[in-house]
Amino acid sequence: MASSISMQTHRLPPAPSQIINREKVVTFTFEGKEYSAYEGDTIASALAAAGITTFSRSFKYHRRRGLLCCAGNCPNCLVQVGEEPNVRSCVTPAQQGMKVGAQNVFPSLDVDMMSSTQLVDRFLPAGFYYKAFMRPAALWPLYEKVLRNAAGLGEVDTDAQPGYYDKVYKHADVTVVGGGLAGMQSALAAADADARVILIESEAQLGGHLRYSGQSRGETAVHIQATSLAAKVAAHPNIEVMKNTLAFGRYDHNWIGAVQGNRLIKLRTKSLVVATGAYEIPPVFENNDLPGIMLGSAVRRLIHLYGVVSGTTAVVVSANPRGLETALKLIRVGVKVAAVADMRAELDAELVAQLQEHGVIVLPQTTVIKAESGMTRLESVHLRSLDGCHQREVSCDLLVLSTGFMPANELLLQAGAKVAWDETLNEFVLASLPENVFAAGEVTGSHNETDIVREGELAGLQAALAAGFDGNNRAQSLRLRVAPLQARIDELQTEIKQTREQRTAWTAAQLAEQAGKKDFVCFCEDVTSKDIKQSIDEGYDSMELLKRYSTVSMGPCQGKMCNVNALRVCAHYNGQTISETGTTTTRPPVKPVMMGALGGRLMEPVRVTPMHDWHVKRGAKMMNAGVWKRPEHYGNPIEEVRAVRERVGLIDISTLGKFHLHGKDVPALLERLYVNRWRKLGVGRVRYGVMLNNEAVVMDDGVTACLRDDFYYMTATSSGASSVYEWIESWLQGGWKLDVHLLDATELRAAMNLTGPYAREVLQKVCEGIDLSNAAFPYMHAREGKVAGIDALLLRVGFTGELGYEIHVPSGYGLHVWQALMSAGKEFGILPFGVEAQRVMRLEKGHIIVGQDTDGLSNPLESGLEGLVKLDKEDFIGKTSLVFASEYGIEKRLVGFEMPDGTLPEEGNQIVRVGNGPIGLEIIGRITSVRRSPTLNKVIGLCWLPAEMCDVGQEFSIRVRGELKRGRVAKLPFYDAEGVRLNS
């Protein structure tokens, strides 16, 4: 039960830039204690307002970690929210009733026993797990259990119910990623050029860092200007703004993956503008991970967006103007700034004067080398001049770091952009961009606002031009507009003068002698500069190897905080430049994405026959047959077999593939598709055929009826229907020049098989226009007439081994005809039967099922279909391979078998003999079909055996549930070998 609500002791008075609504309060719990938040607060801002400084424990050493970036980039604020692990609390809105907790702590966030690992850290160097737990191997399961408990992040609730996720497709001429100043300018420029623009922003508002910079331009606060620009963007009819949306990946042909809440967005764009800004990154120094150490941008976010300040006495360490500006802002909100250390030699005199007016000590060419903690957070920092001559300790509970940037260029790198390290700017800058991909703003290395605005416009115009506007019959308009657009592009390219002055940033040269202490390069994986040095000493001296061995940059932040520093440290210890060191590969996603979102909404197609509802109402047990739903049985498959053998049964076979073949060249087509002969098939006749692929592998089988000289009706297996259609169509379109039209009629006709000794009597009651006598309508013939008043095609074929009629009728009448047959059969004891009974009966009759009894290597000569093959035909698909196979010799065969002792093996059981296998057995075959036949009262089946073991009566061994059982080759078919019943 939660205790009383904590006060918001660190909340500032209201200010115009803040995005919280103090009129609406929500409450949530963190570590069992209740906290309040204003509408608009994130979990982290609300906790910071209540004075919370420790948000998590680190991955390896379980050190306290507090807010660092406040932008969802670092791992420090990851929490468990309900059943969802690894939630970035600094960007996740606080909501009423949320249950928030720390991750991977024991017993609590405040007292975590696992932090004792720091005491034995010399036994836990980089890659220790590759060395320490190798022997004895038998203990690995124990090691694994301990390590998995010790490491890791949040917990997955395996009992959680699947959530509702969604997916949407989007299209744009120009997509701009990043809704800051550059992004908004790009979007407006492209949209004004008539391009259809989508602007993607990961946060809830447009404006980027302008929203929380705290600066003014003239009389107007910058955040007001940002709001005004955002309103202009939102009102533009050609721009669709997608807020709270993460563009996580750029794939081939400008396919952008993005997520918005639980919705996956698949976006296809002609041009892409990346205006994702830059990450502020921390320097590396001893204890640089203590709670109370924050990036300058994080401090400004908390102050300006949420009205929260996270300390009372601050030290600012800077390498750029933003540090001094942040120090002034802190003073204005009542924070005492004890000192400003700036790595630069020349500082803005006006800013320095303002700081000194407030009694702030400003130390040029000075850096931070160490932080010290009290019980829970920062207590003081050690500052030292860059020449090492001066050092001082300054007490503070907040250390603000503005010491360098890393461009947020992941999408550009994924697109194939090249970057180069610029020694002057101390940053990566773009060396080249791929086609139809553009960049603007801080991601290019520009931090000058004038340049950012120009780059934004330039990129927008270039992107629109590359997209060809919307390409919608506006060629004339396009021609008129290209020239002025190109002129403006040329003008902008001249105007943009990216600052080329030397930029200062933290460098690895400042590591100095503190190496070996807890100076973290990688916060996610607790990798220190010592770990990197040791990895290099062990030979992992290239960045890609170093990354994998030390795991630097492989944690949740994926290098956002550490990549540049790791490069700097690696280069430093290798005695190389950063350019010589190179960088690592960037892959999607830019930030972690929920698996559910990637999966999207459940869309699993289901196909049902026209009689589906009847089967369900009758109590059928439905089974999946591909995407079809079919009745497996209606309660008693054995009884269903008996009904067919002794009386009559009806099965729904609407799932069969069915094709109309029109044209004078159909016989020629059939000759080429099937292994047997077709030219002399007369009107009204039906023939069974087997289709091969080019390698002579059995692909499908079925019957084809000749209904007119130029019209044939073909059936294929249910599972093979779509591939057979594509196969035939590809041959028809591929150069045979045959005059044939193929139509997939699978959906047009419902089909049912009426079979059993009384099938003719039942059919006679509802059939008109067809003489059903055996003489007039014999086996393997087709007739057209009416059944239950509906035009029907009847094929006298049989898969069950009994007298049978396949009845094909228009699908919309399928249920009507089915019900009429069931009524007509009532006096004969008709039963509907399902797939299981059909499988038993076809096995009794020795019919194979393509794909079950055959596989991707089975040719017809070895599959018991050799009687069908006419190798003396002019040609058919697969003939060349089949001729070769016949000449090479048959090594295995599909044969029937029985189990003398009545044991029922399982399909897939192996046929073995004594040999050199792992348990002294050699696998020589397998069972493909097996059932206990209720008709024959014995176990029968089909199996693959070596050709020399296929004589009827020969015995072999089957491994059944670990035991060897005897099988015996049997003659096929098992039932009605003379075909008397079929032909009755």
User: Which residue of 816, 842, 892, 893 would you call a contact of other proteins, by CB under 8 A?
Assistant: 816
Instruction: Give whichever of 65 and 630 is closer to other proteins, judged by the CB atom.
Output: 630
Instruction: Give whichever of 410 and 744 is closer to other proteins, judged by the CB atom.
Output: 744
User: Which residue of 110, 544, 709, 747 would you call a contact of other proteins, by CB under 8 A?
Assistant: 747
Instruction: Give whichever of 604 and 887 is closer to other proteins, judged by the CB atom.
Output: 604
Query: Both tokens of residue 52?
Result: 């919370």
User: Which residue of 33, 99, 167, 647 would you call a contact of other proteins, by CB under 8 A?
Assistant: 167
Q: How far is the CB of 763 from other proteins (least distance, A)?
A: 19
Q: How far is the CB of 660 from other proteins (least distance, A)?
A: 7
Q: Does 628 bind other proteins (CB under 8 A)?
A: yes
- Per the CB < 8 A criterion, the answer to whether 712 and 631 are in contact is no
Distances (CA, A) of 418 to 503, 583, 606: 21, 11, 46
Question: Which run of H or E residues covers position 671?
Answer: helix 666-673
Q: Does 708 bind other proteins (CB under 8 A)?
A: no
Instruction: Give whichever of 482 and 738 is closer to other proteins, judged by the CB atom.
Output: 738
Strands 313-318, 336-342: parallel, antiparallel or unpaired by DSSP?
Answer: parallel
φ, ψ at 538 (rounded to 5°): -85, 0
Instruction: Give whichever of 174 and 643 is closer to other proteins, judged by the CB atom.
Output: 174
């797939």: which residue's tokens? 835
Specify the stretch interacting with other proteins by CB under 8 A; choose among 201-209, 244-252, 667-675, 745-753.
745-753
Residues 196-225 interacting with other proteins (rule: CB under 8 A): 196
Specify the stretch interacting with other proteins by CB under 8 A; choose among 169-177, 275-283, 344-352, 583-591.
169-177
Q: How far is the CB of 632 from other proteins (least distance, A)?
A: 18
User: Which residue of 152, 599, 769, 789 would you call a contact of other proteins, by CB under 8 A?
Assistant: 789
Residues 475-514 interacting with other proteins (rule: CB under 8 A): none
Q: 3-state DSSP call for residue 618?
A: coil
Q: 3-state DSSP call for residue 302?
A: helix
Distances (CA, A) of 132 to 58, 73, 115, 405, 541: 21, 32, 20, 37, 22
Specify the stretch interacting with other proteins by CB under 8 A; choose among 66-74, 431-439, 493-501, 604-612.
604-612
Q: 3-state DSSP call for residue 530?
A: helix
Specify the stretch interacting with other proteins by CB under 8 A; choose among 88-96, 160-168, 504-512, 515-523.
160-168
- Per the CB < 8 A criterion, the answer to whether 402 and 301 are in contact is no
Q: 3-state DSSP call for residue 27?
A: strand
User: Which residue of 24, 145, 390, 601 would you call a contact of other proteins, by CB under 8 A?
Assistant: 601
Long-range contacts for 120-129 (Cβ within 8 Å, ≥24 apart)?
121/61, 124/60, 125/530, 125/531, 125/534, 126/527, 126/531, 126/532, 126/534, 126/535, 126/549, 126/550, 126/551, 127/535, 127/538, 127/549, 127/550
- Please give the size of the binding site for other proteins, defined by CB under 8 A: 44
User: Which residue of 16, 169, 237, 346 would you call a contact of other proteins, by CB under 8 A?
Assistant: 169
User: Which residue of 610, 649, 702, 801 would you call a contact of other proteins, by CB under 8 A?
Assistant: 610
- Per the CB < 8 A criterion, the answer to whether 181 and 447 are in contact is no
Q: Does 622 bind other proteins (CB under 8 A)?
A: no
Residues 288-317 interacting with other proteins (rule: CB under 8 A): none
Instruction: Give whichever of 610 and 864 is closer to other proteins, judged by the CB atom.
Output: 610
Specify the stretch interacting with other proteins by CB under 8 A; choose among 385-393, 679-687, 809-817, 871-879.
809-817
**385/858 Cα distance (integer angstroms):** 79
Q: Does 749 bind other proteins (CB under 8 A)?
A: yes
Q: Does 1 bind other proteins (CB under 8 A)?
A: no
DSSP string across 847-863 = ---TTTTS-TT--TTTT
Instruction: Give whichever of 116 and 472 is closer to other proteins, judged by the CB atom.
Output: 472
Instruction: Give whichever of 726 and 948 is closer to other proteins, judged by the CB atom.
Output: 726
Query: Both tokens of residue 714?
Result: 């073909």
**874/159 Cα distance (integer angstroms):** 63
**742/345 Cα distance (integer angstroms):** 81
Specify the stretch interacting with other proteins by CB under 8 A; choose among 125-133, 228-236, 579-587, 655-663.
655-663
User: Which residue of 1, 606, 919, 980 would you call a contact of other proteins, by CB under 8 A?
Assistant: 606
Q: Does 357 bind other proteins (CB under 8 A)?
A: no
Name which of 746, 749, 755 is nearest 717 in CA terms: 746
Residues 818-847 interacting with other proteins (rule: CB under 8 A): none
DSSP string across 446-506 = ---HHHHHHHHHHHHHHHHHHHTTT-SS-HHHHHHHHHHHHHHHHHHHHH-----S-----
**333/316 Cα distance (integer angstroms):** 15
Instruction: Give whichever of 572 and 816 is closer to other proteins, judged by the CB atom.
Output: 816
Angle value at C-alpha 618, between 616 and 622, nearest 5 degrees? 40
User: Which residue of 815, 921, 949, 960 would you call a contact of other proteins, by CB under 8 A?
Assistant: 815
Helix %, strand %, coil % for the chain, to 5?
30, 30, 40
Residues 364-383 interacting with other proteins (rule: CB under 8 A): none
User: Which residue of 93, 125, 588, 663 would you call a contact of other proteins, by CB under 8 A?
Assistant: 663
The residue type of 132 is: A
Q: How far is the CB of 628 from other proteins (least distance, A)?
A: 7
Specify the stretch interacting with other proteins by CB under 8 A; choose among 6-14, 182-190, 276-284, 598-606.
598-606
Q: Does 791 bind other proteins (CB under 8 A)?
A: no
- Per the CB < 8 A criterion, the answer to whether 367 and 282 are in contact is no
User: Which residue of 660, 685, 786, 873 would you call a contact of other proteins, by CB under 8 A?
Assistant: 660
Instruction: Give whichever of 627 and 904 is closer to other proteins, judged by the CB atom.
Output: 627
User: Which residue of 391, 424, 472, 486 would you call a contact of other proteins, by CB under 8 A?
Assistant: 472
* Burial of 98 from C-beta contacts in 10 A (0-12 / 13-18 / 19+): buried
Query: Both tokens of residue 909?
Result: 């059981």
Q: Does 150 bind other proteins (CB under 8 A)?
A: no
Instruction: Give whichever of 436 and 800 is closer to other proteins, judged by the CB atom.
Output: 436
The residue type of 859 is: N
Instruction: Give whichever of 628 and 799 is closer to other proteins, judged by the CB atom.
Output: 628
- Per the CB < 8 A criterion, the answer to whether 917 and 910 are in contact is no
**Number of Cβ atoms within 10 Å of the Cβ of 333:** 16
User: Which residue of 131, 171, 418, 966 would you call a contact of other proteins, by CB under 8 A?
Assistant: 171
**465/271 Cα distance (integer angstroms):** 9
Buried b (16+ CB within 10 A) or exposed e, 832-843: bbbbbbbbbbbb
Q: How far is the CB of 654 from other proteins (least distance, A)?
A: 8
Specify the DSSP class assigned to residue 654: T
Strands 166-177, 263-274: parallel, antiparallel or unpaired by DSSP?
Answer: parallel
Residues 6 or more apart whose CB falls under 8 angstroms from that of 123 comprise: 132
Instruction: Give whichever of 333 and 815 is closer to other proteins, judged by the CB atom.
Output: 815
Residues 230-289 interacting with other proteins (rule: CB under 8 A): 266, 268
Binding footprint of other proteins on the chain (CB under 8 A): 166-171, 196, 266, 268, 470, 472, 601, 603-610, 613, 628, 654, 660, 662-664, 739, 741, 743, 745-749, 789-790, 810-816
